[in-house]
Amino acid sequence: MLTYRALLDDAAHTLYESCDTPRIDAEVLLQHVLQQPLAWLIANGDTAATQDHSKRFYDLVAQRLSGQPIAYLLGYREFWTLNLTVNEHVLIPRPDTECLVEAALERLNKEEPSRLLDLGTGSGAIGLALAKEQPLAKVLAVDYSTDALAVAKANALSNHVSNIEFAQSDWFSNVDRHPGFHLIAANPPYVAEGDAHLEQGDLRFEPKMALSCGNNGLSDLTTIIESAKDYLLSHGSLLLEHGHEQFSDVERLLKDNGYRDIELYKDLNQLPRCTAAIWPG
C-alpha cells in the first residue's frame, strides 16, 4: 500500500508533461479526495493511503492528465468572496474578471438602491458579486444557456444572495427596456474563432459559446454596445470585459455609439481587460 506522500510524488511525476503546476495540481486533487487541508497531508504523509482514496485520486489524476480543468474536477472555483459551483456548462471564473467587479463597485453607491444587469452571467460570478456587495441593488442576471442558468441559480442559493433574479435571454432579447438600468456589465465571448488559445489549457474544455465569437471576437461586444444604450438610464454605466488587444476597437465602438467618459481598467497582469463608459442619455 502506498503512503499519501508516495501517491503525491507519483501523480506529480505523471502530470509533469501535461500540466504547468504538476505538484500543486496533485496536492489540490488529493486534498479534495481526503477533504483535508494541505497541513494534514504534510503531517500524515507517511500514512498508508486507503484503497478508496487511492482509487478516487488516480481517477482524478487521469482526468487531469487528459486536460480537464482543475475547477471542473473539484466542482467549484472561488471568485471575489464567493464559492461558485462550476461545471462544463459555464466558463470558469477568472481572477481577471474581478477588475470588472471593482470597476463596477467604484460606480455604485452602497447606500442607494440601483438596478443592475449582468449579461451572459454563466456561473453567476459578476452578478452575484455585485448583488452581494450592493445589498440595496436589484440584479438581473441573464444567460442564453439554461444549463448555465441552473448553475448560477444554485450559486445564488449556496452563497445566500437573494437580491438577484435570473432569466433566459439572448443578450437583451428577454430584458425589459423600462425602467432601465443604472449599470450593465458583461464578460461576453471575445476570443476570435479559430484562435490557437482555444486549443490550449482549460479553454479546450470550456463552453465555446461562452468563449469565442465572430468578427475577430468583436461581434458580441458590438451587439452589446449597440443595444445597451436602449436599456441604460441616463448617465448609466456600461462595463465590458474584453481581450487585452481589443481595447482600441472597444473604445472606437463606444465612441461611435455616443458613449462618453470611456475608462480603461487593467487586470492583475497589468493588461487592458475592462472598459467602462457612460451613456449620456
Residue for grid cell 479534495: 32
191 interacts with ligand GLN by CB under 6 A: yes
Cβ of residue 57: shortest distance to ligand GLN, in angstroms?
Answer: 28
Check residue 90 for interaction with ligand GLN (CB under 6 A). Answer: no
Q: Does 92 bind ligand GLN (CB under 6 A)?
A: no
User: Residue 121 or 237: which CB sits closer to ligand GLN?
Assistant: 121
Q: Does 259 bind ligand GLN (CB under 6 A)?
A: no
What does the chain look like in DSSP terms, one character per residue?
Answer: --BHHHHHHHHHHHHTTT-SSHHHHHHHHHHHHHT--HHHHHHTTTSBPPHHHHHHHHHHHHHHHTT--HHHHHTEEEETTEEEE--TTSPPP-GGGHHHHHHHHHT--TTS--EEEEES-TTTHHHHHHHHH-TT-EEEEEES-HHHHHHHHHHHHHTT--SEEEEE-STTTT---SS-EEEEEE----EETT-GGGGSGGGGGS-HHHHEEHHHHTHHHHHHHHHHTTTEEEEEEEEEE--TT-HHHHHHHHHHTT-EEEEEEE-TTS-EEEEEEEE--
* Residues 206-225 within binding reach of ligand GLN (CB under 6 A): 211
Residue 187 binds ligand GLN, judged by CB under 6 A: yes
Q: At what angle do helices 98-106 and 125-133 cross, to 10 degrees?
A: 40
Query: Minimal CA–CA distance to 127: which of 180, 181, 186, 86?
Result: 186
Cell numbers that stand for 153 in this block: 441559480
At closest approach, how far in Å is the CB of 41 from ligand GLN? 30
Comparing CB distances to ligand GLN, the nearer of 22 and 69 is 69
Residue 246 binds ligand GLN (CB under 6 A): no
Among 94, 115, 153, 204, binds ligand GLN (CB under 6 A): 94
| Rg value, the chain, Cα | 21
User: Which residue of 57, 80, 190, 279 would you call a contact of ligand GLN, by CB under 6 A?
Assistant: 190
CB of 21 to ligand GLN, least distance (A): 16
Contact flag: residue 254 with ligand GLN (CB under 6 A): no
Q: How far is the CB of 193 from ligand GLN (least distance, A)?
A: 11
Which residue lies nearer to ligand GLN by CB, 9 or 193? 193
Does 189 contact ligand GLN by CB under 6 A?
A: yes
Q: With both helix axes pointing from N to C terminus, report the angle between 125-133 and 146-158 in degrees, rounded to the nearest 10.
A: 30
**Number of residues lying near ligand GLN (CB under 6 A):** 9
Which range binds ligand GLN by CB under 6 A, 30-38, 51-59, 128-136, 189-197? 189-197
Q: Which stretch binds ligand GLN (CB under 6 A): 49-57, 82-90, 136-144, 184-192?
A: 184-192
Specify the residue, 10 or 102, whose C-beta has the smaller distance to ligand GLN. 102
23 contributes a contact to ligand GLN by CB under 6 A: no
Residues linked to residue 191 through DSSP beta bridges, in sequence order: 212
Nearest-approach distance from CB 165 to ligand GLN, in angstroms: 22
Q: Which residues of this protein are in contact with ligand GLN, per CB under 6 A? A: 91, 94, 187-191, 211, 241
